[in-house]
Chains A and B, each alone.
Chain A
Amino acid sequence: AQKVTQAQTEISVVEKEDVTLDCVYETRDTTYYLFWYKQPPSGELVFLIRRNSFDEQNEISGRYSWNFQKSTSSFNFTITASQVVDSAVYFCALSEGAGSYQLTFGKGTKLSVIP
C-alpha cells in the first residue's frame, strides 16, 4: 500500500535561513509520481512540483529545490533564503501507476518563517 511520511510536524526558522522539508514514501509500483503542494491559510493547495519515478534529476526553481533519491525513497524539499511569505503548510504526495489519479498525502509540515 502507498504511504507518505512527513516526520516534521512543525518547523520554525528565521528569515533568510535555509530549510529542508523531509518526505519519505512507500510504494510497490515502479511507475509513480511525487508532488509537493503548499497550503497557505486560505486553504487552497498550490502545486509546486511533479516528478515521475524515472527522473531522478534534482530540480531547482528559484529559491526552491528538490532532491529525489529512489535509493532512500525520499523526495526532500529545500527553501533557500526563506521569506515570511513561505510560511504555510507543505504537503508531499504520491500517485501510483500510470492510470491512477489518486493522490496520497503526508500529514504536512507547518513552516513558520519569523521576520
Chain B
Amino acid sequence: ETGVTQSPTHLIKTRGQQVTLRCSSQSGHNTVSWYQQALGQGPQFIFQYYREEENGRGNFPPRFSGLQFPNYSSELNVNALELDDSALYLCASSSFQRNYGYTFGSGTRLTVV
C-alpha cells in the first residue's frame, strides 16, 4: 500500500508568479483534499475533489484551483502569488467509505518572496 507523496518538498516563488503543486494519492483513494498550514497554525481546508470534480471548498479565493486525474494524482494551482500564501501545503487522500483516517503527505513548503 503506497502512501501519499507530494512534490516538490520546497519551493521559492516571487510575488505575482504562479505555482503548481503535485500530489500522488494513496492507491484506491478516490477523494483528495488540499490544506494550507501557516506557521504555528492548524491546517486550513482549501478544497476537495471526488472523481475528478471539486465537491467542497473552503474560504479561499478563486486563484486557488485544482485538478484531480484518473490515476489518483492531483494538482493545486495558485495564481498571482501573495506573500501570505507562504505556508506548508498538505495533500490528503481518503476512500469513499472513510473506513480509516485521511492519509496526509509530508507537504510542500512554499515561500513567496
Contacts and interface: CB of A to CB of B under 8 A. Distances in A.
The residue in A42, A50, A101 that gathers the most chain B C-beta atoms within 10 A of its C-beta is A101
B107 A43 contact: yes
For chain B, which range describes its interface: under 10, 10 to 19, 20 to 34, or 35 or more residues? 20 to 34
B11 to A, nearest CB: 14
Interface stretch (B13-21, B38-46, B75-83): B38-46
A44 B104 contact: yes
A50 B33 CA distance: 17
Contacts of A93: 42
Contacts, number: 63
B42 A50 contact: no
Interface of A: 4, 33, 35, 37, 42-50, 91, 93, 100-108
Contacts of B28: none
B103 A103 contact: no
